[in-house]
Amino acid sequence: MTRPDHPSGSDRIYEALAIVDPDRRADIIVNLQGDLPTLPPSDVKAALAPLADPEVDIATLAAEAADPADAFNPHVVKVVGTPVAPGRLRALYFTRAAAPYGEGPQYHHIGLYAYRRAALARFVALPPSPLERRERLEQLRALEAGMRIDVAIVDTVPIGVDTPDDLERVRRSLITTNH
């Protein structure tokens, strides 16, 4: 168990990392959140790919938003980025608002992060940033500090569990999948 006073999940994994890897053997740390039980293993692998570029500090995932209503749903985090390679964006901003404006795809952020160990240490040494506090999105702390986040684009958004209804939907989905 980690301390209950951490400002973000990344702060919690940094504390856990010191416990499970005191010899600092791991160079890449993946923060795989328990609220995404339907995330395919291939997406975890996809999240690691951007870290092949030494300029990338943190990697994450997104999928093209399938439901136009998601653009206006504050529970759906959107990523705004610029293409840097096929199937990959460099993140410019994350928001709960509809963004970006105009024609073109909108990307639904998937809350999995892969960090270089040094980037995670730098991140947790930073205080929560103004935009992070305003949007309640920890990744904005890294962007405001000039860290580079690249986003691997995957095919679908896994079912997230944020409410009791979501939990029931996941249970039904897993029962159907396993029978």
Domains present along the chain, CATH in parentheses: 9-177 (3.90.550.10)
**pLDDT for position 179:** 59
What value does the mean pLDDT take over residues 78-101? 95
Distances (CA, A) of 18 to 32, 33, 117, 120, 122: 17, 18, 11, 12, 14
Predicted model pTM: 0.90
Round the average pLDDT of the chain to a whole number and report it: 92
3 state SS of 96: coil
Distance CA 10, CA 38 (A): 21
**pLDDT for position 178:** 64
Per-residue pLDDT tens for 4-63? 888 888 889 999 999 999 999 999 999 987 788 888 999 999 999 999 999 999 999 999
What value does the mean pLDDT take over residues 132-160? 94
Total residue length of the chain: 179
Residue type, 60: T
**pLDDT for position 97:** 94
**pLDDT for position 24:** 93
Distances (CA, A) of 16 to 4, 9, 13, 57: 12, 11, 5, 20
Half-sphere exposure of 47 (CA within 13 A, CB side): 25
Instruction: State yes or no: pLDDT of 166 exceeds 90.
Output: no
- CA-based torsion, 169, 175, 178, 179: positive or negative: negative
What whole-number percentage of the chain has pLDDT above 90? Answer: 68
